[in-house]
Structure 1
Amino acid sequence: MGAAPASGAVPSIGDVLVELAAAPAGEPGGEAAWIKIAPAGTVRTRDGRTFSFDPAALAARFVADGVDVAVDVDHAAARAFLGGQAPAVGWIKALEGRPDGLYGRVDWLDEGKAILAARSRRYLSPTFPHDDLGNATWIHSVSLVATPALPNMPALAGASPTTPLATEPAMKTVLAALGLVATATEAEALAALTALQGRVVDLSAYVRKDVHEATLAQLTAATATLDGIRQANRKTEIEAVLEGALTAKKILPAQREAYAALCATEEGLAQVKALIAASPAMLGASGLDRQPTPGAAAGALTAQQLAICEAMGLDPEAYRKSLAAA
């Protein structure tokens, strides 16, 4: 059973499809059959919605309208405004209010008879508009459905797997946000959305230009300061790594600049750290590091330094000059 639009209008997105109990349609046949469309009084669906039905008032509205009510499949007529097809499989020729509910006399078409014979959809579910209190006002259409909505009812109907009742309040909220009245049509809502999409936002209406520029300048200065701190910290880290390697005799002074160049990137620094950690000391301490070679002139290489030159294939004089310059 479902909520439909106001009289004379097709259902819109804001209308609520309400699926409630209806009696089994009975055995298919050539004669029109009376079936239960809705119970009388207040009812509660299995998904928690509550609606009220006045069978006599609904039957009177049917007579006043003078229009047969279509029977479709799975509320196709209520969704036809989206562009789908909604062929009728039967027509309700009369409505009658009874103590236990609203009944309709259905004239089944061949397609409706086939569906009933196949038992693929055995229950009826009306689509109707209602007021804010949930009182049904008229029957828009009735559908053959497969899933019952109300428990413990001799008459069963289709129940939506979702809770479409929340659609109407949500749609009203959307319309209000768009600056439209609650009764705005789908076309009016789409037009408002299209207008919003094409609008260019002027930021000057929200932030003064001088404040914006001052904030950008502060951000630029802060970024430069942060970069300077990072570079200084990086240089300090590189110096510590190389000095530690020299002290541990894992690199030679002549190799320092080459290792420093390798540390130009974060990846290079990580590789240098790993290489130094895995490298053994080139020479053990001999106690002669600070002792000059006997008979050597001031500034001459020590015995250990000469041994390093010989082991590394370095020119002693070039090595001595590099030490003096360090």
Structure 2
Amino acid sequence: MSHRPTPSSQPFATGVIAGEFAALDAGGVPPAWIKVTPTGRVTTRDGRSYAFDPAALAVRFAAEGISVPVDLDHSVQRKAMFGEAGTVVGWVAELQARPDGLFARVDWLDAGKATLAARTHRYVSPTFSHDDAGNATWLHSVALVPAPALAMPAVASAGGSPQEDQPMLKKIAVALGLTETADEAACLSALTTLRAETVAKAVHDQAIANLSAATAARDAAEAKLATLAADARKAEVDALLEGALTEKKIVPAQREQYAALCATAEGLNQVKALLAVTPKGLQASALDNQNLPAGDEDLTDPAKLSGLAAQFVRRQAEAGITISHADAVVAVRDGKHKETKK
């Protein structure tokens, strides 16, 4: 027989009745059978009325084949509101209808035997579901309690029962975002939903770590792509302007301005279009093939500067050194071309 209680959509009543039983026999053995409910209708001290049909309750128990828990102080029902397990001290293995009430055969656990031996809980109080007329329809659990029902307030623990004597349930309902009139079933449903939507801290932390790592990897990839794109653009611009210098479509002094224009994709396309229709404007000069006297070098004249740069490129090539026209212009400006003449 299974030990998992069957859920009920009907309201529960808890602690409304309680009867005394013999805790241990003369030999210290706990009772095999205990009386769970009376027969017929009873009225609680707050005026509510419940009716018990032992035969119907026993038949339903046998049909479902579900062991009913025996706990302490109705802890199974009350702690379920918080997703916790109650203190189970035994299991109802069989229900039997007798003329004076419903009796249960209990398989006592060690905790139950110890409780009975200590005589701290000498009364039996059932938790049961009922219809609107108060007829008990299903036995949810059986509790060992320390006092009879007449010495405790009658407490209903789920839908359909008065809430005036349950200030804690009202506070729980409000904390769960429900109204004060919400019953225990509604609170349990809201709590179950809340627990289902709650993520364990370890899972949350791991998700954050994974997200951070993915973000860092994305940022690194984007930075690398940006660097590659910048390098590719620079190489393209350098090749374009070196070609323009070689073809004498621009003079070295204009290189930086053209490079600035190429800073954007649109600017690069415009420079390409401009150079495509620009004829070779700087024709060969006599300076290309002559060494000018040192005192005659006018480095402010673009044509002379370009000619000296061309000579420098040629001399470097004869020496087995490859140098761009732009670098040759810089070398001429720095006077390095004079050093190579010596």
TM range (shorter): 0.3 to 0.5
TM-score by length of 2: 0.43
TM-score normalized by the length of structure 1: 0.45
Q: Which has the higher helix share?
A: 2
- Larger Rg: 1 or 2? 2
